[in-house]
């Protein structure tokens, strides 16, 4: 089957993005396509694949995201911005409610965060801090907010958030990547404490006051250590507000290895993020959904001006 796609990224989180509104494949077939296209040793590569899916009575369109290991994520906020941009271009809209795997989000086109950088704002929530919603089997009813989690092989204090995908967020003086990977690998094994696995983030509070800033480093479920994870940036913003590190409804710059977004957490556990939805190039490729075998990539065109605009923004951070 021939797939036409755009290679897109949100804050450095990169994906082949497919308009799948007219494509009928089963979950196992999409999983094989994801493993083929997201393979970094292949012609395309990515942090997974994004699918623009059809509308319904309540949603302007939908989004699905499959990780490089073929698992499907409940949400991907960096990917949502990219998918929303494609959906807006396809439907002639600039705002709407988007269907996700287990929830929905509001998305709209907003003023650029930097010159020439197409920017989409997404709003999700209210999100849940109920331990069972995060996938924790501790039996606790009270949320873990800057608290030790029994059974977790770490002495750090975490805030557990379901975006609805599960996140464990710890604030640190300085990120220790070896420690993060060790804990992420443990969670990735699907232990009894959190059998559906979890995203783990270490977060530095870099500025406070009227212009707070966070730096987030994430081990992403199904991906590993990643330069960017949008739902982790959202979960970290909420955790920072919940623990008093930033104020509610205060716009916060959230940085990661991939770039920067503007975020805020509102009372009621709603999180808003505005960030780039950059289209880098267009291509097409044959992938057999039954076997996952991929043919050669055909490049259809590059979006040089968008790439240059994003690089100028990074240079100015």
> What would the DSSP string read from start to end of 216-277?
EEEEETTTEEES--HHHHHHHHHHHHHTTSS-TT--EEEEETTEEEEEEEETTTEEEEEEE-
pLDDT for position 209: 66
> Is 230 marked within a binding site?
yes
Between strands 61-66 and 95-99, the pairing is parallel
List 18, 63, 76, 187, catalytic entry: 76
Q: Are 17 and 86 in contact (CB under 8 A)?
A: yes
CATH number at 2-122+277-315: 3.10.310.10
pLDDT for position 251: 93
Residues spanned by CATH 3.10.310.10 within the chain?
Answer: 2-122+277-315, 131-268
| Interval 38-83: pLDDT, tens | 999 999 999 999 999 999 999 999 999 999 999 998 888 999 999 9
pLDDT for position 276: 96
Distance (Å, rounded) from C-alpha 263 to C-alpha 212? Answer: 10
Residue 187 among the catalytic residues: no
> Is 256 marked within a binding site?
no
pLDDT for position 92: 95
User: What are the start-end ranges of the E strands in the chain?
Assistant: 2-10, 13-19, 49-53, 61-66, 72-73, 95-99, 104-110, 119-124, 159-162, 166-171, 199-207, 213-220, 224-226, 252-256, 259-266, 270-276, 278-286, 298-302
Domain covering 131-268 assigned CATH 3.30.479.10 in the classification: no
| Interval 146-187: pLDDT, tens | 999 999 999 999 999 999 899 999 999 999 999 999 999 999
> Is 45 marked within a binding site?
no
Residue 82 among the catalytic residues: no
pLDDT for position 103: 85
> Is 165 marked within a binding site?
yes
pLDDT for position 83: 98
> Is 231 marked within a binding site?
yes
Residue 2: Cβ-neighbour burial (10 angstroms; 0-12, 13-18, 19+): exposed
The low-confidence residues of the chain, meaning pLDDT below 50, are none
Distance (Å, rounded) from C-alpha 231 to C-alpha 288? Answer: 31
Distance (Å, rounded) from C-alpha 149 to C-alpha 186? Answer: 14
pLDDT for position 207: 81
List 33, 229, 241, 265, catalytic entry: 229
């Amino acid at each position: 089957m021939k797939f036409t796609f755009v290679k897109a990224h949100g804050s450095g989180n990169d994906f082949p993005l497919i308009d799948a509104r007219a494509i009928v494949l089963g979950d196992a077939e999409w999983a094989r396509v994801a493993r083929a296209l997201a393979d970094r040793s292949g012609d395309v590569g990515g942090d997974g694949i994004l699918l623009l899916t059809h509308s319904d009575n309540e949603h302007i369109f939908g989004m699905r995201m499959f990780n490089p290991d073929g698992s499907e994520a409940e949400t991907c906020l960096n990917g949502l911005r990219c998918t929303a941009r494609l959906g807006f271009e396809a439907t002639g809209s600039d705002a709407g409610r988007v269907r996700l795997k287990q929830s929905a989000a509001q998305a709209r086109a907003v003023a650029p965060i930097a010159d020439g950088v197409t920017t989409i704002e997404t709003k999700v929530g209210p999100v849940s801090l109920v331990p069972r919603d995060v996938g924790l089997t501790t039996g606790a009813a009270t949320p873990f907010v800057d608290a030790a989690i029994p059974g977790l092989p770490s002495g750090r204090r975490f805030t557990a958030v379901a975006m609805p995908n599960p996140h464990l967020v710890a604030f640190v003086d300085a990120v220790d990547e070896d420690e993060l990977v060790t804990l992420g690998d443990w969670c990735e094994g699907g232990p009894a404490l959190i059998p559906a696995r979890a995203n783990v983030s270490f977060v530095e509070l870099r500025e406070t006051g009227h212009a707070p800033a966070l730096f987030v480093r994430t081990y992403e479920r199904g991906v590993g250590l990643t330069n960017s994870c949008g739902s982790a940036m959202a979960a970290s913003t909420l955790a920072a507000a919940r623990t008093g590190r930033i104020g509610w409804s205060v716009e916060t710059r959230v940085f990661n290895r991939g770039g920067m977004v503007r975020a805020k957490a509102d009372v009621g556990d709603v999180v808003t993020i505005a960030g780039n939805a950059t289209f880098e190039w267009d291509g097409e490729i044959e992938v057999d959904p039954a076997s996952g075998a991929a043919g050669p990539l055909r490049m259809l065109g590059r979006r040089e001006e968008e790439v240059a605009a994003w690089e100028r923004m990074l240079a100015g951070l």
